[in-house]
Amino acid sequence: MIDEALLQFIWQHKLYKPANLTATSGESITVLHAGHINRNAGPDFTAARISIGNTTLVGNIELHLKTSDWQKHKHDNDPNYKNIILHVVYENDITAHNSDNVLLLELKSAIAEEVLIRYQAMSKEKTGIPCKHQHEQVPSLVKESWLNRMLAERWDEKLADWQVQLKNTNNDWRNLLYHRLAHNMGFNTNATPFLLLAQSTPLNILAKHRDSIEQLEALLFGQAGLLNNDKDNKYAEELKTEYTYLKTKYQLSPIAGHLWKFLRMRPANFPTVRIAQFASLIHTSEHLFSKITEAQTLEQLEPLFTRLTKNTLSLLPKNWDKHHSIILL
């Protein structure tokens, strides 16, 4: 019997027949990237990429054993599930799929019976890793080749993501660097909202306000949807006033504040603090792209990023309280 953990594993490792996947509404689906499994609150997979005809969609994917689980888990009223690009189920048990018109994919017919049988056999193993006893039987050459292949596949996957992002920025390498820096500032947990923040806040606008750290923070916190309505927080009110003006001036649209994750994170890694550090990085990193392209060796690059890291971290002690308190409740 299949459970949701197995369905996630099958989706993550593509243990299904990838050809001829079709949504219940009739559209042909090609899975370009399964996404990154999410161990926090929200959708099961983030930053996935699928192709619907000639259109590529990037976003979150939710998995359930049955379509009706969407309503049972109350996702229809949860803002965390408003940006789902695909709802994957093992079995479609209802005729009307009421999930904000999200594409629905039934995976049951694409999963080989052998996968389920092997899973049931392996789940009965008493060892933590069922194939542990077979490890020593594999020749070292095979292991090395396998590891090299996985490394190459991982780089190919990263390169494919970067190529999509480069295309979306009209082949502007400076914007690609900006987006990748933002993505990495969020680590694994907040990488996707950080990327969405960068995509919703054009680099040329931030460049116009690079000399003012307050305006940079107003733009980034405002675009992140993290400026609350707490009248007692003077600093947040100052940023909100500045952001209201800049938002109107540049016709900006913020992302949803609920996308940011705070659960099970150390305070130093809270997105509020990381956004403040990102603002500081932009404030102190003029002509960063040019300096990177001019570098000829790794040794020439290391001091540049070490300096930037020290500059952003040096702001943390004096700004800790005000950035820690800017949280959407």
Distance CA 311, CA 49 (A): 35
**Regarding beta strands 21-22 and 36-37, do their DSSP bridges make them parallel or antiparallel, or are they unpaired?**
unpaired
Output the pLDDT for position 323: 56
Confidence check: pLDDT of 320 > 50: no
Helices (H), the chain: 4-12, 69-72, 113-123, 140-168, 173-185, 191-200, 203-208, 213-223, 234-250, 271-284, 288-294, 298-314, 316-324
Neighbours of 90 (CB within 10 A): 21
Confidence check: pLDDT of 98 > 60: no
Which amino acid, 213?
A: I
Looking at the structure, tell me whether residues 173 and 320 fall in a common domain. yes
CB 215 within 8 A of CB 246: yes
Confidence check: pLDDT of 22 > 60: yes
Does residue 11 form part of some domain? yes
Output the pLDDT for position 64: 94
Looking at the structure, tell me whether residues 312 and 173 fall in a common domain. yes
Neighbours of 77 (CB within 10 A): 7
Provide the mean pLDDT of the chain.
Answer: 84
- Confidence tier at 284 by pLDDT (50, 70, 90): confident
Confidence check: pLDDT of 42 > 50: yes
- Structural domain including 299 reads 169-324
Task: Summarize the confidence of residues 82-111 as an average pLDDT.
Answer: 84
Confidence check: pLDDT of 321 > 70: no
Task: Summarize the confidence of residues 81-85 as an average pLDDT.
Answer: 85
Task: Summarize the confidence of residues 241-262 as an average pLDDT.
Answer: 91
Q: Which of 123, 153, 184 is the last residue of a domain?
A: 123
Please list the residues that pair with 322 across neighbouring strands. Answer: none
Looking at the structure, tell me whether residues 107 and 188 fall in a common domain. no
- Total domains, the chain: 2
Highest mean pLDDT among 227-231, 270-274, 313-317: 270-274
Task: Summarize the confidence of residues 37-59 as an average pLDDT.
Answer: 86
